[in-house]
Structure 1
């Protein structure tokens, strides 16, 4: 089963965020809120769009409302991937 890692999320977020060069890596702080790491809502929205496209998952607006950290986002994506795999079996 394909899964996303904190490292992959870090790479995606840096590619999606304007001016991310000076932000700390989320690998070192996966439980800190995105805002504390310098990522705004636009960066998160772009990141989620790319994850939907690259991992073939769909986020509900309700599901993303409570996501504030990289670890939470990784867990959500991996849960969606697991559901998708179970439905395909």
Structure 2
């Protein structure tokens, strides 16, 4: 489960949680042979089209209070880049749900 701390606004989201959200939004992901490769695979290679990325952004906002613009999400290009972006956000960038 994602945690947000009350004092610093730190957002903690694991790669497993992020991949689960991507799977929910894209359906069956086209996973690489080894799980270690998933974070660096492009969204396109994983089978996430633009609609899946829009849904991912919406779920991150509704479930975790994290607002990632759709165009930024597409530019990030991979689960690792997205997770690093989220982890680098400050509390002011979170939305209240």
Q: TM-score range by the shorter chain?
A: 0.7 to 0.9
Matches within 5 A, 1:1-80: 1=5, 2-18=11-27, 20=28, 23-24=30-31, 27-28=35-36, 29-61=38-70, 63-80=72-89
Distance 1:27 1:42 in 2: 24
More helix by share: 1
Q: Secondary structure at the match of 2:87?
A: helix
**TM-score using structure 1 length:** 0.74
Structure 2 residue ranges without an equivalent (≥5): 6-10, 93-97
Q: Runs ≥4 in structure 1, deviation > 6 angstroms? A: none
Name the structure, 1 or 2, with higher relative contact order (CA <8 Å, separation 6+). 1
RMSD: 2.3
